[in-house]
Amino acid sequence: MSLKRNGRLSRREMLKALSLAAAGSTTLSPFLAGCRQAQQTPEDVERGLRRDALDGKPRFLIVVAAAGGASIVDSFLAVRAGEAGLNAARLNTFPDAQVQAVANSPFRAVRVSNPRLGSIPVPVNTDQLAFVNKYKDDMLVATSVGTSVNHVIAQKRSITGNAAWKGRTLQECVALQWGQGFALPNVNMAVGGFGERGTDTSMPASVYAETVTSPSLWPLGLDGSRGVRGAPARAEVELARQARADLEASSVFGATFQDSDALKRWNAQRAEGARLEAQDLITRLNVIPDLPPRVPLSQYGLASSPDGARVRQAFPGFFDDPFQAQAALAFLLLKYRVSVAVTIGPDFNVTLGGANGLANPPLAFDFSHNDHRSGQAFMWARLLANLDQLITLLKAEPFDPATGESLWDRTLIYVATDFGRTRPRPDNAVEFGSGHDLNNGFLMLSPMVKGNTVLGGVEASSTLCYGFDPRTGTPQPGKLESNEPDIFSGVLTAMGADLSGSGLPDASAFKNG
């Protein structure tokens, strides 16, 4: 028994498989899995095309693009002044009371209270302790040393591991392994290098990212005729589409270029559009409520998502705050099995809103050039508040009633960032600016990672992070070499990805169990 090259069983083989199922055979699952694996060529395996067995379950990756340099020593690896000795006043250390210990955990949580955010008259009062206490068992921090302090270059390297696997992005790897059958396996709402595709052009076109720039309004464009007043009935639209296809195929142009890759892609995209329409994604992914006369969805034959009310409750600023809108859409893309990889993140633009009238400062984390301490505190609070709401939704969403798994059980959140920030400051300064630095760390959140874990550590006298063995997790004080491939491999290893032929380092230390 073997699979056709299109991945399907022949009619005779399908009948044989169904007869096994009807007989209650326990050999059916490995039988089907063996068929799939037997069809792989060495080239398939080298490209990483081996997927889970036919009865396997998808896993999901949410990349959070912390644009501008989210500093790990301003969060979970903060250093107390009392630990840094004589260097404390000249380094980015905190008064001891501001760095809170987390019970039974290697993590720390920073509390900051400043009357303004740089020159912006907005108070900054943040405390990371509640988030860390709530999620520490699903948190892993891995220290890192990058290879670029250029925003776009460093951002892209944070999702490719500096071209660790043929230049593929993490999102493309996940879409390749678990996105089969998903309408849009890889959706990217981030900016800069986080929004770029990888450099491996050998993969199926479906794994490359679908770019979404307006998450609140984008779902309303997922149907070719609905939402248009006076549009013909669906049956008439389909009749016109079929006539168009017949005419194009029989035209001189169609006959001449029927073997053109470009024309094949064009036709495939049309078919994909039909799939999106069939799933009613214009409704399922639409968070906007029906509020006539201001938002008269019903007058245009449209409706809000069945999950709209609870998503709006989690992200009440979704219409004005792009980051909230991205998080809302990310949840719905996973819930409705549209995507397996979604990228979100605040951009460099000012967003008004929030408790103090400012939701996002200019330059996001890079506002640290102006006011490092308040800028980092403000942005970490923004990130963690939205992640808390997103994880709460994922935890409440059943994935497999038979096993009791929630959607969160199958999801990994990777907080990717450009780089760290420089450590020096004027003596005992509370307000100071920082530059870009290669030394930093990455946060991962998931039941799939080895929770309550710090890989690596911080040298208190310099506040620089040192490395670790990616296989065993053993700290390696003094190690300051770049480890971008380790982080890349760690994300995929924790998710249980098939890394055959990748050449990636063994990153077993990241995985839970």
Q: Is the per-residue pLDDT at 45 higher than 80?
A: no
Contacts of 311 (CB under 8 A, 6+ apart): 287, 305, 318, 328, 331, 332, 393
| Amino acid in the structure at residue 126 | T
Q: Averaged over 190-198, what is the pLDDT? A: 97
Confidence band, pLDDT 50/70/90 cuts, at residue 41: very low
Angle between helices 322-335 and 372-396 (to 10 degrees): 30
The 8-class DSSP code of residue 468 comes to E
Stronger pLDDT, 36 or 380, i.e. the higher one: 380
Confidence band, pLDDT 50/70/90 cuts, at residue 265: confident
- Cβ-contact 210, 179 below 8 angstroms: no
For the beta sheet containing 99-101, the strands, ordered from the edge strand earlier in sequence to the opposite edge, are: 99-101, 108-114, 124-127
* pLDDT value, residue 40: 42
Cα–Cα distance for residue pair 114/112, rounded to 1 Å: 7
Averaged confidence pLDDT in the chain: 91
pTM to 2 decimals?
A: 0.89
3-state helix, strand, coil in the chain (%, to 5): 40, 15, 45
Share of the chain above pLDDT 70, in %: 89
The 8-class DSSP code of residue 81 comes to H
Confidence band, pLDDT 50/70/90 cuts, at residue 381: very high
How many Å separate Cα 11 from the centre of its chain? 39
Q: Is the per-residue pLDDT at 24 higher than 80?
A: no
How does pLDDT run across 327-371, given as a tens digit for each residue? Answer: 999 999 999 999 999 999 999 999 999 888 999 999 999 999 999
CA distances from 35 to 32, 38, 178 (A): 5, 5, 18
Share of the chain above pLDDT 90, in %: 85
Contacts of 4 (CB under 8 A, 6+ apart): 10
All CATH 3.40.720 domain ranges of the chain, comma separated, are 70-216+318-462+479-513
Q: Which fold has domain 70-216+318-462+479-513?
A: Alkaline Phosphatase, subunit A (3.40.720)
Q: Averaged over 441-450, what is the pLDDT? A: 98
Q: Averaged over 401-405, what is the pLDDT? A: 95
